[in-house]
Amino acid sequence: MTDGQRDFSQVRDAMDRLVKNDILPGVSISVQQDQTTVFTCCSGWADRENRIELTPEHLFRGYSNTKLATSCAALLLMEQGALRLDDPLEKYLPEFAAMRVLNPDATTLGDTQPAERPIRLRHLLTHTSGISYDFLTPGSLIAGAYDAINLRDPAGTLADTVDKLATLPLVCHPGTGWNYSFSTDVVARVVEVAGGKPFGAFLQERIFDPLGMTDTGYWVPAEKRHLLTRLYAGASAEDPNLPGLTPNAEKSCNEDLFRKPSLEMGGSGLLFSLPDMVRLLNALNVGETRLLGPEALALVYENLLPEGLWMQFPGFGELTGKAHSAAGSVSVAAFPHEHPDTAGSIWWGGVAGTQWWLSPQTGMSAAVMTQRENGFAHPFATELKNIVFQCLEV
C-alpha cells in the first residue's frame, strides 16, 4: 500500500512475517504525516483460536499507553493555570509532605533519611520522584512493601492507591534518579484534585470527547465486547524471538474489563482502538486540531531530565541517549540498531505491545497495536519503526 509517493510494502511484509512466524498473534499499524494517514494496515488475528481477523475497530489493552493520556490531562491543567510544573506535590496532596528515602543498604522500611527536597510535578511526569514499581524489581524491599499494601486493589479508588503510596519511603531523593514507577498514578490523583472531578470523567470530558475517541475507556461496554482482542504470552521471556504463542485465558476473559471499575489508574488501564490512538497522536502533532497550546505542547517534546541523567531499567542499565519529557521518552540520540531519524522523536508503549511515537522533525506519528505480553521491549517494535523511517526517506 502506498500514499502515491512512498511504498510501505516492506512494513506489511514484516507484519505478515511476524504473524506467520508465530511471534505476534496479530498486529496493526497506522502512520501519519502532518495529520494525513499515509499508511494503515492490519495483519493476523484478534483471536487466533476462533479465526477472528484483526481490524482497525478492535480494542487493545493499552497498559502504559495510559500514561500519555494522563500527561495530557496534567498539561491541560497547566495551560489553564491550575497546575505548575514545579509545584510541590504536597500543595495538592499534603500526605506527601516530609517524605523519607530508603538508605542505600536498607534492609527494613524504617532504615531511611529525610528527603532532600519535595516531590514536584516535573518529578512525577518524568519518573524521577523516587517512587518505584513493584513488577520491575521483584524480591526487593520496596517491591515487597508495594505488594503488601495491594496498590492495585480493584475494589479501591485512585485516592486509596495514592494514599497508600504516601505511607512508604522513596527509593531515591526526588530529581536524582530515574525509576519507572507509580508516579503517573499520582499525577492522575493530582488531576482529580486540581480538576475537581474523578480522573476518568476528566479524561472523557477534556480529551476523549473533544478528540472523538469513542472507543477509549477503562472498560468495554456490552455492545463492543466482541471487539476486545485476545491476549497472548510468548514462548520464552529470555528469547523473545522464539516462536510460539499461548492465549492468556485469565486476562483475556477477565470479567472486570466489562464493567465500570472503581479504580481508574493514571499509569495503566485504558483500552484503545487503533483509530483512537491515532486521534490522540494527531492532536499532539502538527496541524490545525491540537489538544494543547504551544507552551504545553513543547513540554511533550522537551527533555526535562537533569543533565547527565538518563532512563534506566533493571537488567538493562543506563540507556544513554534516552531521556524523558512530560509525556514520554525522548530519543536525544539514536541507538546503533535504530534508524538515525529516531533521534529527536518521543515514544512509549504498553507491556502488551501497543506502541506510539511522534517525530516532530518529519511531522510523522505512528501507532502500533498488538497483544503479546512483554511486547514493549520486544525487537519487533524497533524493526517496524526502522522500516517506517526508511519508507519515509523516499
pTM above 0.85, yes or no: yes
C-alpha–C-alpha distance, residues 375 and 142, integer Å? 25
Q: Taking residues 264-277, what's their average pLDDT?
A: 97
Q: Taking residues 52-58, what's their average pLDDT?
A: 98
Inform me whether the pLDDT recorded for 287 exceeds 80: no
Spell out the alpha helix ranges (H) of the chain. Answer: 9-20, 66-79, 121-125, 141-148, 158-165, 183-195, 199-203, 209-211, 249-252, 274-283, 294-301, 379-392
The more confident residue out of 2 and 219 is 219
Q: What is the pLDDT of residue 252?
A: 63
* Phi and psi angles of residue 136, each rounded to the nearest 5 degrees, phi first: -85, -25
Q: Which of 41-55, 101-115, 226-240, 319-333 has the lowest mean pLDDT?
A: 226-240
Inform me whether the pLDDT recorded for 1 exceeds 90: no
C-alpha–C-alpha distance, residues 333 and 322, integer Å? 7
Catalytic entry in 67, 164, 224, 385:
67
Q: How confident is the model at residue 84 (pLDDT cuts 50, 70, 90)?
A: very high
Q: What is the pLDDT of residue 393?
A: 83
How big is the CA angle at 140 (ends 137 and 143), to the nearest 5 degrees? 70
Q: Taking residues 260-289, what's their average pLDDT?
A: 91
Tens of pLDDT, residue by residue over 331-368, are: 999 999 999 999 999 999 999 999 999 999 888 999 99
Q: Taking residues 22-47, what's their average pLDDT?
A: 95
Q: Is 344 left (phi over 0), alpha (psi -120 to 50) or beta?
A: left
Q: What is the pLDDT of residue 42?
A: 98
Catalytic entry in 30, 43, 64, 359:
64
Catalytic entry in 92, 146, 180, 232:
180
Q: Is 47 helix (H, G, I), strand (E, B) or coil?
A: strand
Number of Cβ atoms within 10 Å of the Cβ of 308: 6
Residues of the chain with CATH 3.40.710.10: 9-65+213-392, 71-199
Q: Taking residues 91-96, what's their average pLDDT?
A: 98
Q: Catalytic site residue 180?
A: yes
Q: Is 275 helix (H, G, I), strand (E, B) or coil?
A: helix
Secondary structure letter of residue 48 according to DSSP: T
Percent of the chain with pLDDT over 70: 97
Q: What is the pLDDT of residue 288?
A: 54
CB 287 within 8 Å of CB 34? yes
C-alpha–C-alpha distance, residues 380 and 337, integer Å? 12
Q: Taking residues 363-389, what's their average pLDDT?
A: 92
CB 42 within 8 Å of CB 56? yes
Fold of 9-65+213-392: Beta-lactamase (3.40.710)
Mean pLDDT of the chain: 94
Signed CA dihedral, 148, 153, 155, 161: sign only: positive
3-state secondary structure 174-223: CCCCCCCCCHHHHHHHHHHHHHCCCHHHHHHHHHHHHHCCCCCECCCCHH
> With the CA atoms of 270, 274, 279 and 285 taken in that order, what torsion angle do they form, in degrees rounded to the nearest 10?
100
Residues 6 or more apart in contact with residue 174 via CB below 8 angstroms: 99, 115, 116, 117, 118, 119, 120, 123, 128, 129, 130
Q: Taking residues 137-149, what's their average pLDDT?
A: 94
Q: Looking at the domain that runs over 71-199, which CATH code has it been given?
A: 3.40.710.10
Q: Catalytic site residue 67?
A: yes
C-alpha–C-alpha distance, residues 73 and 187, integer Å? 9
Q: What is the pLDDT of residue 394?
A: 57
C-alpha–C-alpha distance, residues 301 and 325, integer Å? 6
CB 6 within 8 Å of CB 38? yes
Q: Exposure of 156 by Cβ count < 10 A (0-12 exposed, 13-18 middle, 19+ buried)?
A: middle
CB 356 within 8 Å of CB 348? yes
Among 79, 126, 69, 82, smallest CA distance to 283 is for: 69
Q: Which of 45-59, 61-75, 369-383 has the lowest mean pLDDT?
A: 369-383
Residue with cell 529525610: 114
Report how far Cα 72 is from the mean position of its chain's Cα atoms. 12
How big is the CA angle at 353 (ends 350 and 357), to the nearest 5 degrees? 70
Q: How confident is the model at residue 289 (pLDDT cuts 50, 70, 90)?
A: low
Q: What is the pLDDT of residue 2?
A: 45
